Amino acid sequence: EAQVTQNPRYLITVTGKKLTVTCSQNMNHEYMSWYRQDPGLGLRQIYYSMNVEVTDKGDVPEGYKVSRKEKRNFPLILESPSPNQTSLYFCASSLGLGTGNQPQHFGDGTRLSIL
Amino acid sequence: GQNIDQPTEMTATEGAIVQINCTYQTSGFNGLFWYQQHAGEAPTFLSYNVLDGLEEKGRFSSFLSRSKGYSYLLLKELQMKDSASYLCGPSGGSYIPTFGRGTSLIVHP
């Protein structure tokens, strides 16, 4: 089954404790991206990647890191989480350049609470 | 950069038609997506426009005017299950959309 898998789905942690949210897709997609969603602010792009070893900042990259060492995985890293990073996070993937604009497939979301 | 504007909330009656507008200013614009998102769930793809005009897909249609930086999503024969947020997502040079704040649509009997 074609899917984007995020882990964990829920996490409560404390300020300053490094964490990683994993994202994996099994559709051989080139493009992957991370968004955070907060009430009243909509879905905001954090980082995106157009291919292996190619990553770019989105609209709200501060406090986050990403890596794209393999096509299928695009982890989101919070080196020193803070309470303002409490949010619902979505990973998404799509086919890539040369295929025109293609719809993104979203993971089920990760709800992070930073205390 | 992106500047995306859509109404925060709309209400409509079951069986009616509703139009959700979106204006945008997007560098290197190359297309616009609409997604539906039910509360607590992931967004799901509804439609995509790259050329000016109307794209129809069953009860849902989407319109684009590139020169005006304007799009709308038209929902016909509204059903209760259409109560959701609708996200307008123009894409620029990256071909990966960014989204506005979304429009929360409430359909009542």
pLDDT-derived band at B1 (thresholds 50, 70, 90) equals very low
Please indicate whether, in this complex, the C-beta atoms of B94 and A90 are within 8 angstroms of each other: no
pLDDT score at A16: 95
Alpha-carbon Rg for chain B, nearest whole angstrom, is 13
> How far is C-alpha B53 from the geometric centre of its chain's CA atoms?
14
Please indicate whether, in this complex, the C-beta atoms of A31 and B2 are within 8 angstroms of each other: no
Note the pLDDT tens digit of each residue in A8-63. Answer: 999 999 999 999 999 999 999 999 999 999 988 889 999 999 999 999 999 999 99
Q: What SS3 state is found at B81?
A: helix
- Residue ranges of chain B whose CB lies within 8 Å of a chain A CB: 1-2, 30-31, 33, 40-45, 48, 50, 87, 91, 94-102
pLDDT score at B3: 87
Q: Which of A9-13, A95-99, B43-47, B83-87 has the lowest mean pLDDT?
A: A95-99
Q: What is the mean pLDDT of residues B63-91?
A: 96
